[in-house]
Chains A and B, each alone.
Chain A
C-alpha cells in the first residue's frame, strides 16, 4: 500500500514522454525533405558519435558555459551531470542487487526505499550515491543564491519567469533536498545510508522518526519529481532535452533557413536562458536591457515579440559567438524580421527599366570587378585609395558602381526584407557575371557578407580589399613601407564574426605599422554601433555605445585607429580626435 507514492513520479514520467514524443515528432516531421534525408544518411556515420560527444560535453558537462562563466557552468553541470550520474548509478545499483536491468523505473529511482539489505558493494554504492547527491545539492545551493542575487555570478540580469517556469523551478529546487530527507529517513530506520544520508539519519533518529514520516517524505520526493516532469515541456527546462536534439541535428548538417521553420523552433527551445548573451550585449551601455537574444527567444516562444525589441539589435553577432548552445541567434532574429515584414517587400520594378549602360570596350577581361558599395561612396578616401592601389599594382579592373549602382541587398536582408533583397541580388549578380572577371573586389564588409552568403556567383572569388591587397603585397605587386605609427585594429562585425576574416587586415597592418592588440578583439571585438542591423536605436544611444567601444580600442593611445569598413569609419570619426583610417587608405599611403 505504502508504495503508492511512486504514482506521481510514474505518471509524470509517462506524461513527459508522451508530450516529448508528440512535440519532437511534429518538429522532425516538419523538417524539409532534404533535411530528413540528411538525418537518415548521416545516422550511421561518425557524425552521430560526434553528436554524442558534444551532447556529453555541452549537455552534461557544460564546457562552453564553464569557459565563459565558471560558476554558472558549475551550477549547470551539477544539475545535469550529477543527475545523469545519479540515474546511471541508480541503475547500476539496482542491477547489482536484482541482477537484472529489466525492472520498473521506480526501483532504481527509489532504490533506497526498497532495499535495506546488505549486498556486495552496497557500502560503496551507498557512499557513491550520497556523494553524487551532495554534488547536486551544492549546485542547488548555488541556484538559490543566484535567484537571490545574480551579481555573485557576474551576471547583469537574469531572465524573468512565467508561471509554469516557476512550477518547474520550484519542483526542481525541492527534488534533491527532498531526496536527501527521504533517504535519510530510511537510513535512520534501516541504517542503509551512505556517509551523508546516515549522518542526516542520525539527526532524524535523535528527533525521532516514524515509518509514516518516512513514507510522507518519499511521497514528497515523488511528487516533486512528478510536478517537474509535467512542468518540464512547458517551461524553460525543455531546453535540457531539446538541446541534445539540436546537437544531433546540427551534426547531421541541418542549417537554419531564412524562413522560420521547425528547426528554428528547435533552436529556440534549446535556449537554457543561461544569460550569457545578456552579458556580452553592448546595449547595456545605453541602458537597453529588454532586447537581448534570450528575451527574443522567450518572446518567440510566448508569441509576444514586439517590433521595437525585434529591431533594436545591432546584429553584431557577439551573443551568437558567446552562446554556449551555439544557437544561430542572428539568423533567428532575421528570420523573425522576415516574418514581420513579409507583407511589404518591394519588387524594385524600376530595375527592369533602367537604361542599359553601353558595354565597356576593353582589350581583355578585367582581372577584378570592383564593387564599392553605397557606404564607400560617402567615404571617398577609401574609394580613392582602393583605385590607387589597383592602379599601382597594375591590376585591370571594372568599376561596377562608379556612377549608378544598386545596393547590394544586405541592408534589406538585415531589415528582414528578404524577397526585396532577392531582386537587387538578381540585378547585381547579372552585372557581376557579365564582367567575366574572376575576382569580385569589395570594400565594404556589409556587401561582402551578402555576396558571399546569398549571391551564388559560381567560380568568382569574392575578396575584401584587405584580403586582396595582402595577396598583392605577398605577390610583390605592391611594396609597403613600414612606419613606426602605432595602430590598433577594429574588427568590423560583418567582416570578422560575419565572414571570419580576422588575419589578413592584421597582416597588412603589421607590414605598414606597429600593430597593437586590443582588449577585446577578433571574435570578441566590439561593435562600432553604426550597424545597419539595428532599425530603431537612436543616434544618442549609438553615440553612447560607440563611446564605450572607443574607450576599449583607444586604451593604448594609438596613433591610428584602423578599420576595414566604411560604416565603422564613419561611425568612429564623429566627435573623436584620433585619426580613423580604413586599411585601404593605410595601404595606399604606405605605398608611397
Chain B
C-alpha cells in the first residue's frame, strides 16, 4: 500500500449494525440487570480502582455496548472486584458479575486488545 503521508481516519460514527455484539450479548444473557444502567456514574466515582487508575467502568460498559473492545482487556484488569459499585448502583445492577462476565467473555470470544 502506498504512503501518501496521510491516512483515512476511522469514522467515529456508531454504525449500529456493525457493532460487535458478542460480548454485550453474552453479558446481557447471563446478567440481565446490566440492561438497567442509566449511566449515572456513581460506580465510577466510588470505584476503588478508579481512585488509583484511570479505570472508568461506566465508560467501559458503554464501550462494550458499542462493541468498542480495543482496550477492554487492559481496562477490566484494573478492577479489584471490591464491590463498592454494587452497593452504590441505584439500579441494582449486579456489577461484580458483569465484571466477571466481561473477563470470561473476552476469554471465550478470544478478544484481544489492539496493540
Binding site for B on A (CB under 8 A): 307-308, 311, 341, 343-344, 346-351, 354, 374-375, 377-378, 404-407, 409, 411-412, 415, 417, 424, 530, 532, 535-540, 567, 570
* Set A378, A537, A539: member contacting B88, Cβ < 8 A: A378
Minimum Cβ distance to chain B for residue A417 (Å) = 7
Give the residue among B81, B83, B107 with the most A Cβ atoms within 10 A.
Answer: B81
17 A-B pairs besides A341-B100, A411-B83 with CB distance below 8 A are A311-B97, A374-B48, A375-B84, A377-B84, A404-B51, A405-B48, A405-B51, A407-B81, A411-B82, A411-B96, A415-B81, A417-B81, A530-B87, A535-B96, A536-B94, A538-B92, A567-B83
* Set B78, B94, B107: member contacting A343, Cβ < 8 A: B107
Q: Check A424–B94 contact: CB distance below 8 A.
A: no
Minimum Cβ distance to chain B for residue A305 (Å) = 15
Q: Check A344–B83 contact: CB distance below 8 A.
A: no
CA distance A311 to B80 in the complex (A): 17
CA distance A405 to B48 in the complex (A): 7
A404 partner residues in chain B, CB cutoff 8 A: 51-52
B48 partner residues in chain A, CB cutoff 8 A: 374, 405-407
Given A375-B87, A415-B100, check contact A538 B77 (CB 8 Å). Answer: no
CA distance A452 to B80 in the complex (A): 19
Given A535-B96, A538-B33, A539-B33, check contact A374 B82 (CB 8 Å). Answer: yes
A412 partner residues in chain B, CB cutoff 8 A: 80-81
* Set B53, B84, B94: member contacting A374, Cβ < 8 A: B84
Interface membership of B71, Cβ < 8 A: no
A566 nearest in chain B by CB position:
B87
Q: Check B84–A378 contact: CB distance below 8 A.
A: yes
A351 nearest in chain B by CB position:
B52
Q: Check A411–B87 contact: CB distance below 8 A.
A: no
List 18 interface pairs A-B (beta carbons < 8 Å), by A numbering: A343-B107, A346-B77, A346-B78, A348-B77, A350-B53, A374-B48, A375-B87, A378-B84, A404-B52, A405-B48, A406-B80, A411-B80, A411-B81, A412-B81, A415-B96, A532-B81, A538-B94, A570-B87
Q: Check B79–A378 contact: CB distance below 8 A.
A: no
Against A, the Cβ 8 Å flags (1 = close, 0 = not) of B7-34 are: 0000000000000000000000011010
* Set A347, A375, A409: member contacting B83, Cβ < 8 A: A375
Per DSSP, chain B at the interface is helix
Interface membership of B64, Cβ < 8 A: no
A350 nearest in chain B by CB position:
B53
CA distance A84 to B94 in the complex (A): 51
Give the residue among B46, B87, B88 with the most A Cβ atoms within 10 A.
Answer: B87
Interface membership of B112, Cβ < 8 A: no
Q: Check B78–A378 contact: CB distance below 8 A.
A: no
Interface membership of B104, Cβ < 8 A: yes
Against A, the Cβ 8 Å flags (1 = close, 0 = not) of B65-109 are: 000000000001111111110111000101011001001101100
Q: Check B92–A539 contact: CB distance below 8 A.
A: yes
CA distance A252 to B92 in the complex (A): 46
Give the residue among B88, B100, B107 with the most A Cβ atoms within 10 A.
Answer: B100
A406 partner residues in chain B, CB cutoff 8 A: 48, 52, 80
Q: Check B80–A407 contact: CB distance below 8 A.
A: yes
CA distance A1 to B32 in the complex (A): 69
**Across the A-B interface, the 9 shortest Cβ-Cβ residue pairs:** A539-B92, A346-B77, A407-B80, A374-B82, A407-B82, A344-B103, A411-B81, A535-B97, A532-B83
Q: Check B96–A532 contact: CB distance below 8 A.
A: yes
Q: Check A341–B80 contact: CB distance below 8 A.
A: no
B31 partner residues in chain A, CB cutoff 8 A: 536
CA distance A158 to B84 in the complex (A): 37
CA distance A426 to B81 in the complex (A): 17
Q: Check A350–B52 contact: CB distance below 8 A.
A: yes
Q: Check B82–A344 contact: CB distance below 8 A.
A: no
Given A344-B103, A344-B107, check contact A374 B83 (CB 8 Å). Answer: yes
Q: Check A424–B30 contact: CB distance below 8 A.
A: no
CA distance A341 to B84 in the complex (A): 21
B104 partner residues in chain A, CB cutoff 8 A: 307, 341, 344
CA distance A350 to B54 in the complex (A): 10
B104 nearest in chain A by CB position:
A344
Q: Check B52–A308 contact: CB distance below 8 A.
A: no
B78 partner residues in chain A, CB cutoff 8 A: 346, 348, 350
B76 partner residues in chain A, CB cutoff 8 A: 346
CA distance A567 to B88 in the complex (A): 12
Q: Check B103–A341 contact: CB distance below 8 A.
A: yes
Minimum Cβ distance to chain A for residue B105 (Å) = 10
A416 nearest in chain B by CB position:
B100
Minimum Cβ distance to chain A for residue B91 (Å) = 9
CA distance A212 to B11 in the complex (A): 91
Give the residue among A344, A536, A537 with the most B Cβ atoms within 10 A.
Answer: A344
* Set B80, B92, B100, B107: member contacting A535, Cβ < 8 A: B100
B92 partner residues in chain A, CB cutoff 8 A: 538-540
A312 nearest in chain B by CB position:
B97
A347 partner residues in chain B, CB cutoff 8 A: 77
A341 partner residues in chain B, CB cutoff 8 A: 100, 103-104
Give the residue among B46, B52, B92 with the most A Cβ atoms within 10 A.
Answer: B52
CA distance A354 to B81 in the complex (A): 19
